[in-house]
Structure 1
Amino acid sequence: MLEKSSNQFIEELSSKAPIPGGGGASAYVGALGMALGSMVGNLTIGKKKYKDVEEDVKVLLEKSETIIRNLKSLVSKDAEVFYPLSQAYGMPSTTEEEKKKKDEVLQAALVDATMVPLEIARNCVDAIHLHEEYARKGTRIAISDVGVGVIFCKAALQGAKLNVLINTKIMKDAELKKKVETELAEIERMGLAKADEIYREVESMLQS
């Protein structure tokens, strides 16, 4: 999906086509947010002033690259798992037999369509925590980009959450629904508060 140009991605996102959608867009925004953190790290490497933290920043960059790679992959994966779900929604449901078949296909498709945005959320909360280290160890000349990056990741996390909930809302597997929503609530609890904390820290640095 991201092999396409950004213009093409935006055009397709704004069309009535079923994919890409909010899940893929969330993964894309999360990848952009993490990339901003990486930029700060790369600007820090090689600077005499930050020699003491250079090895730490190199480790951060490796972790960041893994998250970026994951989120880029999840842009495409979200499209892959949503397509069967969109097809299931369009199945005929006139007779009882058709209704039963449609429900079976829909419930099966819901599982993958739920787990992908949950994985996006997991990566976003990891990205948020890496931004905390970039804020503390990264070059001050690009500290604003840490703030931008972390709010991108926060928005991506919130977007992923909504894409999980729209699926669990109609999920009939009560055990899986509870498991997913419990994990999601914990991810949100950790991620949003931390993102806000980092943003305030960056804002304070810029205002002092």
Structure 2
Amino acid sequence: MADTSASMGSLADLSCRDFTCELAARKSVPGGGGAAALAGALGIALCSMVGNFTAGKKRYAEVEEDVLCMMGEAEELRSKLIGLIDADAVAFEPLSRAYSIPRDDPARAQELEAATKEACSAPMEMMRACARSVELLEEMGEKGSRMLLSDIGCGAALCSAALISASLNVFVNTKALADRAYAESLEQEADQLLATYALRADALASLVARRIRGEE
């Protein structure tokens, strides 16, 4: 099977150039999951950026406490999403090993089921983190510096893409699970997060576009 992050150290520590080279290579990791986590991290990082340009400004003194609180949570989310780049890659290793077990081995089905469930974990966590990121971007869009409104829109667009991308990595794994109750529970949560937060992120990006173009 393809190489995994164990052979290259932490994917999250690579430069942008090197990460995209690894992503483009004929390897299974990093793949769509790692890219989704990075997109989400970039999205919430823009929320922090707007907060950093807002905090300390007299014009925004009334919302200073709220902005600082958002910045603290945004940094936690950014760190979590960056960590999920490697978590997603690590989860591929046991899945890769399970698929390589001979089909006539009685242990194959059990090991494959366990590894597939584990492979669902990181992308689900990405979706949850991105959903909260959208909420913070909405609030920062209302309270943060007007000069950085376009960055709020960019952050929302990135989080929308991250949510959709992470969901695909959930669904491709739940499809293979024998435990349909477990699979359907994850699918329902993923569908709800998509229906709520991908739409909210898209709406925020569209609102920003209209505002910066003077249409509202």
Could you state the TM-score of these two structures normalised by the residue count of structure 1?
0.94
- Alignment check: 8 A CA contact 1:22 1:163 kept: yes
1:112 to 110, 113, 118: 118
Is residue 184 from structure 1 mapped to residue 178 from structure 2 by the alignment? no
- Alignment check: 8 A CA contact 1:34 1:64 kept: yes
- Alignment check: 8 A CA contact 1:18 1:83 kept: no
- Alignment check: 8 A CA contact 2:159 2:198 kept: no
Q: Displacement, 1:82? A: 1.2
CA distance in 2, matches of 1:115, 1:2: 18
Map 1:61-140 → 2, pairs under 5 A = 61-93=71-103, 96=104, 98=105, 100-140=106-146
Instruction: Give unmatched runs, 5+ long, in structure 2.
Output: 1-10
Instruction: Give unmatched runs, 5+ long, in structure 1.
Output: none
Is residue 173 from structure 1 mapped to residue 179 from structure 2 by the alignment? yes
Q: Displacement, 1:179? A: 0.9
Aligned residue pair count: 204
- Note the alpha carbon deviations across 1:41-86, whole angstroms, 9 max, x for none: 1001111111111111001101101110110111110001012112
Query: In structure 2, the residue corresponding to 1:159 is in which secondary structure?
Result: helix
CA distance in 2, matches of 1:84, 1:14: 22
The two structures, once aligned, show a CA RMSD in angstroms of 1.1
- Note the alpha carbon deviations across 1:78-105, whole angstroms, 9 max, x for none: 0010121122223333xx3x2x332222
Instruction: Kindly provide the amino acid, as one letter, of the partner of residue 115 in structure 1.
Output: S
Q: Displacement, 1:12? A: 1.0
- Alignment check: 8 A CA contact 2:45 2:74 kept: yes
CA distance in 1, matches of 2:123, 2:212: 34
Q: Displacement, 1:178? A: 1.3
Aligned residue number for residue 42 of structure 1: 52
Instruction: Kindly provide the amino acid, as one letter, of the partner of residue 120 in structure 2.
Output: T
Instruction: Kindly provide the amino acid, as one letter, of the partner of residue 62 in structure 2.
Output: D
Aligned residue number for residue 6 of structure 2: none
Aligned residue number for residue 143 of structure 1: 149
- Note the alpha carbon deviations across 1:156-190, whole angstroms, 9 max, x for none: 00000000000001110111111111111111111
Q: Displacement, 1:201? A: 1.8
Q: Displacement, 1:122? A: 0.5
CA distance in 2, matches of 1:83, 1:14: 19
Instruction: Kindly provide the amino acid, as one letter, of the partner of residue 13 in structure 1.
Output: L
- Alignment check: 8 A CA contact 1:37 1:131 kept: yes
Is residue 54 from structure 1 mapped to residue 64 from structure 2 by the alignment? yes
Query: In structure 1, the residue corresponding to 2:13 is in which secondary structure?
Result: coil
- Note the alpha carbon deviations across 1:99-156, whole angstroms, 9 max, x for none: x332222111001101210111000111011110111011111110000011001100
2:167 to 150, 158, 161: 161
